[in-house]
Amino acid sequence: MEFTAQQIADYLQGIVEGDPNVTVTNFNKIEEGKPGGISFLANPKYTHYIYESKASIVLVNKDFVAEKPISATLVRVDDAYASLAKLMQLAVSYKPRRKKIEWRSHVACSAKIGKGVYVGAFSYISKKAVIGKNSQIYPQVFVGENVKIGENCIIYPGVKIYHDCIIGNNCILHAGVVIGGDGFGFAPQEDGSYKKIPQMGNVVLEDDVEIGANTTVDRATMGSTIVHKGVKLDNLNQIAHNVEVGENTVMAAMSGIAGSSKVGKNCIIAGQVGIAGHLQITDKVTLAAQTGVISNISDNSTPWFGSPAMPIKGYLKSYTLFRKFPDIYKELQQLRKELNELKNNNNQ
């Protein structure tokens, strides 16, 4: 990858401020900028680095106002962070893609493999599986019977996709992801034991879904567990059976959604959030870290926080009182002592 500042500005619909012919070949954090690298400034906390950065080019927002001289060439864009993502995607697209089936892999005779597909060593493609063109199946991946994988997908090492599951186009599954394991369904018996309920559905991932390492999405008891278009799941998440996650919802690490809950579009779910089963969460809801949701949420006008979840302002007010409880309790004990002394004096 080698781009000039002018090429970058043209691609991002930005404006060059400095040398339009300066070139870059790699990306740097702004605090670690080096000649030949491109950095970005989006968070005001990092502004001081731009005045000492050695990066050749820095992406900045169009409204950025410099308070000191800057040695780097600036490319002014509407959104520096979004522009960086777009530019990095372009750089990745220039990397060569593998396009062969390695001999130590297994591909069933009835499987259909599209043009330009890569299948790495020790991967197993089962009967009647379908893999769309230009998808990359890295080593040690298991693809079950009747699985359908769309075009331009990247399936990293160690991913397991159980039978009948459907993966859309442009999906990325990171190492250790399990799609279509059995949902947690057991019927209690009179003797205290549990009888397994067969999980006969599947999982459907729509287009442009990305799932982080060691995240699991369980198959439905009946029907489908559905992760809609554009959803991004972080590492170590759990999506239970018959859950539905709406378009463009993002979910940070170590969060879980229990069975049959429906999460709306464009929601933001922070780390270590727990959502109980059979709930409805409307579109554009934000759940702060470690929130515990035990009832439906229909209000998206404020972030939710705490366990049980409540609007964040109410939680912070409650927490302020909670921190004062030791002092309040101490004062109450003192008042009780004084009251008892008054009672004793009156009885004498």
Together in a domain, 181 and 288: yes
* Overall domain count for the chain: 2
Q: For the beta carbon of residue 319, count every other beta carbon within 10 angstroms.
A: 12
CATH code, domain carrying 219: 2.160.10.10
Q: Looking at residue 265, what is its pLDDT?
A: 98
Q: Do residues 32 and 165 share a domain?
A: no
Under the banding of pLDDT at 50, 70 and 90, the label for residue 343 is confident
Residue 42 sits in the same domain as residue 178: no
CA angle 289, 292, 297 (to 5 degrees): 100
Quote the Cα angle for 13-250-222, to 5°: 130
Model pLDDT, residue 338 = 87
* Distance, CA of 7 to CA of 23 (rounded, Å): 9
**CA triple 108-223-299, angle to 5 deg:** 130
Same domain, 84 and 223: no
**329 belongs to a structural domain:** no
| pLDDT tens figures, 293-303 | 999 999 999 99
- Give the pairing of strands 244-245 and 130-131: unpaired
Model pLDDT for residues 191-221, shown as the tens digit of each residue:
999 999 999 999 999 999 999 999 999 999 9
Q: In whole angstroms, what separates CA 20 from the centre of its chain?
A: 36
Q: What does the DSSP assignment read for 283-329?
A: TT-EE-TT-EE-S-B---SS-EETTTTEEHHHHHHHHHHHHHHHHHH
Domain end position, chosen among 45, 69, 93: 93
Domain match, 302 and 169 both: yes
Please report whether residue 327 resides in a domain: no
pLDDT of the residue at 99: 84
* Pick from 49, 88, 54: nearest CA to 66: 49
| CATH code of residue 33 | 3.40.1390.10
**107 in a structural domain:** no
The domain boundary residue, chosen from 50, 70, 93: 93
Given a contact cutoff of 8 angstroms between Cβ atoms, the answer to whether 235 and 215 are in contact is yes
Look up the domain containing 25 and give its range. Answer: 3-93
74 inside domain: yes
pLDDT at residue 240, as a whole number: 98
Of 48, 174, 241, 278, which residue is the catalytic one? 241
Give the pLDDT mean for 330-347: 88
β-bridge mates for residue 173, sequence order: 155, 211
| Rg from Cα positions in the chain | 27
Q: Is residue 237 within 8 Å of 181, Cβ to Cβ?
A: no
The two structure tokens encoding residue 209: 């879904």
What confidence score (pLDDT) does residue 347 get? 75
Q: Residue 145 domain-assigned?
A: no
Asked whether the predicted pLDDT for residue 348 surpasses 80, the reply is no
Residues 278 and 299: their CA atoms lie apart, in Å, by 18
Give dist(CA 281, CA 251) in Å, integer: 14
pLDDT digits (tens, 9 = 90+) for 257-304: 999 999 999 999 999 999 999 999 999 999 999 999 999 999 999 999
pLDDT above 80: residue 306: yes
In a shared domain, residues 87 and 163: no
The pTM assigned to this predicted structure is: 0.88
174 is catalytic: no
Residue at 103 is within a domain: no
Residue 316 covered by a domain:
no
Distance CA 110, CA 126 (A): 8
Question: Which of 66, 93, 120 is the last residue before a domain boundary?
Answer: 93
Cβ count near 240 (within 10 Å): 21
Q: State how far the Cα of 24 lies from the Cα of 316, in Å rounded to an integer.
A: 47
Q: Is residue 256 part of a domain?
A: yes
* Cα–Cα distance measured from residue 313 to residue 256, given in angstroms and rounded to the nearest whole number: 24
pLDDT category, 175, cuts 50, 70, 90?
very high
Instruction: Tell me: do 166 and 88 sit in the same domain.
Output: no
Q: Give me the chain's average pLDDT, please.
A: 95
Q: Does pLDDT of 96 surpass 90?
A: no
- How many CA atoms lie less than 13 Å away from 144 in the CB half-sphere? 15
Task: Of 199, 188, 113, give the one whose Cα is nearest residue 149.
Answer: 113
- pLDDT in the model for residue 210: 98
* 168 in the same domain as 89: no
Asked if 89 and 194 sit in the same domain, the reply is no
Identify the band that residue 248 occupies on the pLDDT scale cut at 50, 70 and 90. Answer: very high
CA distance 181 to 241: 9
pLDDT given at position 112: 98
User: For residue 42, what are the contacts with CB-CB under 8 A and spacing of at least 6?
Assistant: 61, 79, 80, 81, 84
Do 272 and 184 share a structural domain? yes
Per the listing, tokens 């018959």 go with 242
β-sheet bridge partners, residue 27: 38
